[in-house]
Amino acid sequence: MKMIYLDYAATTPMCKEALDVYQKVATLYYGNTNSLHDYGTEAAQLLELCKEKVAGWLNGETECVYFTSGGTESNYVAVQSLLHGSIHKGKHIVTTKLEHSSLLNLWTHLEQEGYSITYLPTDSYGLVSIHELERAIRQDTVLVAIQHVNHEIGTIQPIKAIGHLLKEKGVLFHCDCVQSFGKLPIDVKAANISSLSISSHKLYGPKGVGVLYLNPYTNWKSVYHSKSTTQSLRPGTVNMPGIAAFVTATEQVMKKMTEEHERYQHLFSYLNQCLHGLTDFVHVEGYHSHHLPSIVGLTFASVQGQYVMLQCNRYGLAVSTGSACQVGQQSPSSTLLSIGKTTEEAKRFVRISFGKETTDYHIDQFVMTLKKLYHEFSYVK
């Protein structure tokens, strides 16, 4: 029996359209975009077209789109480039414990370099308070980094309100949009975003491709010592087949974004209905109007998340215990701790996430497995 996949927030399979384009570009447009002959010119023209597409989806400028190896690199390069370009202003950063591990690890490193990091509190749903953000901003605050959608419980932050405040304060704004791009509309101008990150493999594109958008009116300085001709921020030969495949996959996603959002809302509502008889065993986290319905965080009353994940795997269901980038770490999820969970409660966490293949049947199978586990533990008690 084919395994049921409920871990789309970790990664997605490449769609057929992206696979076809990858092969075509690798075969026909293999010239180096920096080369001056016709092969290079054709590849460079294709690169420019891809940048135009991404800029259009973000309501941004084409020259501000840079392709990277993924969301992690985009986060790192964005923050470091903005900080290097604003070192004269100050060394205070405001962020949250909800951020992706690529940024949480970077904050620790930056503290060793003399930066001061303020972590904003959140409510039990994982929402940031604009009032608390305003209070945290100081004279030497240079950057605020707040993700658009949390990768573990799906909380949507009010990035337009955040961007409006930061514009008034003259503070840079980095936004991790890895989980939101292709699922929610993003307007870099309306949200006053200085930089944002995107990852291809969350959108049925290839792994190893990401996007970094840098506001054209922002002072930044490349973290690299050398610069390429077509990518003024990031050196090296661009991955043209991967970039074209990513853009193709995104085109497919954008066509059905509204339709898919409504379908995910149905799946989320259906899951909640099915869990009514298990409320003393499992709790849905981040259940709020500001929530992306395709990401569902669950905490259990009497069993660790890793055990639930392993049992689901035994019954043919692929779920996760949180961000795939933190698997194997002994420390509990910083997201769960941030919303007020104890260390022990945070270890009882499981995430499921929906994709284009997810149906009511998959929800039924997942809930059926949870009922088996519930009866097992009730019997043990």
How many residues does the structure list for the chain? 381
166-192 b/e with 16+ CB inside 10 Å = b?
beeeebbbbbbbbbbbbbeebebeebb
- Our answer to whether residue 177 is catalytic in this structure is no
Q: Could you please report the per-residue DSSP string of 43-60?
A: HHHHHHHHHHHHHHHHT-
Q: Which of 322, 321, 325 has its CA nearest to residue 102?
A: 325
C-alpha to C-alpha distance for 61 and 47, rounded to whole angstroms: 14
C-alpha to C-alpha distance for 355 and 145, rounded to whole angstroms: 27
* Catalytic site residue from 15, 64, 175, 325: 325
Burial classification of residue 13, based on how many CB atoms lie within 10 Å of its CB (0-12 exposed, 13-18 middle, 19 or more buried): middle
Residue 239: phi and psi, rounded to 5, are -85, 80
C-alpha to C-alpha distance for 370 and 64, rounded to whole angstroms: 46
Active site residues: 325
